[in-house]
């Protein structure tokens, strides 16, 4: 059973590639890129602690479809073919309320790996 409150409203904005969630009159707009790189799937998170796979090149990914998964989650189908993550209400609440922390951590991991949101390697080194 979910510990987090359910969103009172869920809106998919395909043109801006965002998912809008409302919790107690507080609105969160999560980009498809953010949701994709933080997918709860084993493909992204790995099969154990520390086995996650850094997602790169997802800047322009979009959301094709939202599919309810019982009363506990949403399955998000992305236009890059990824569709294996089940986003529970707890997961979506966490991603909404801790967006800045998770996003900044992701950007730091990309920089450390010399990768980019566009998918190309970034030259790292001293001038």
The answer as to whether 106 is a domain residue is yes
pLDDT-derived band at 22, boundaries 50, 70, 90: very high
Phi-psi region of 89 (alpha: psi -120 to 50; beta: other; left: phi over 0): alpha
The residue with greater pLDDT, 5 or 65, is 65
Residue 125 has pLDDT above 60, yes or no: no
Is 97 a member of any domain? yes
The answer to the question of residue 3 being in a domain is no
Measured in whole angstroms, the distance separating CA 8 from the mean position of its chain's CA atoms is: 20
In a domain, 4, yes or no: no
Count of domains in the chain?
Answer: 1
Pull the structure tokens for residue 23.
């919790």
Question: Looking at residues 78-105, what average pLDDT do you find?
Answer: 95
Domain-embedded: residue 73: yes
CATH number for the domain harbouring residue 23: 3.30.2020.30
Q: Is residue 53 part of a domain?
A: yes
Per-residue pLDDT, 79: 96
Domain annotation covers residue 121: no
Q: Rounded to an integer, what distance in angstroms lies between the CA atom of residue 46 and that of residue 53?
A: 6
This prediction's pTM: 0.89
Domain that holds residue 72: 9-113
- Predicted local distance difference test score (pLDDT) of residue 4: 83
pLDDT value at 123 more than 80: no
Q: Is residue 52 part of a domain?
A: yes
| For range 82-95, the mean pLDDT | 94
């Amino acid at each position: 059973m979910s510990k987090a409150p359910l969103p009172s409203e869920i809106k998919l904005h395909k043109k801006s590639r965002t998912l809008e969630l409302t919790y107690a009159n507080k609105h969160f707009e999560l980009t498809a890129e953010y949701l994709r790189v933080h997918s709860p799937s084993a493909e992204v998170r790995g099969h154990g602690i520390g086995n996650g796979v850094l997602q790169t090149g997802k800047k322009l990914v979009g959301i094709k479809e939202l599919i309810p998964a019982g009363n506990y989650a949403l399955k998000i189908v992305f236009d890059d073919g990824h569709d294996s993550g089940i986003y529970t209400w707890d997961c979506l609440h966490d991603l909404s309320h801790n967006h800045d922390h998770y996003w900044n951590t992701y950007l730091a991991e990309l920089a450390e790996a010399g990768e980019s949101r566009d998918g190309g390697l970034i030259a790292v080194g001293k001038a």
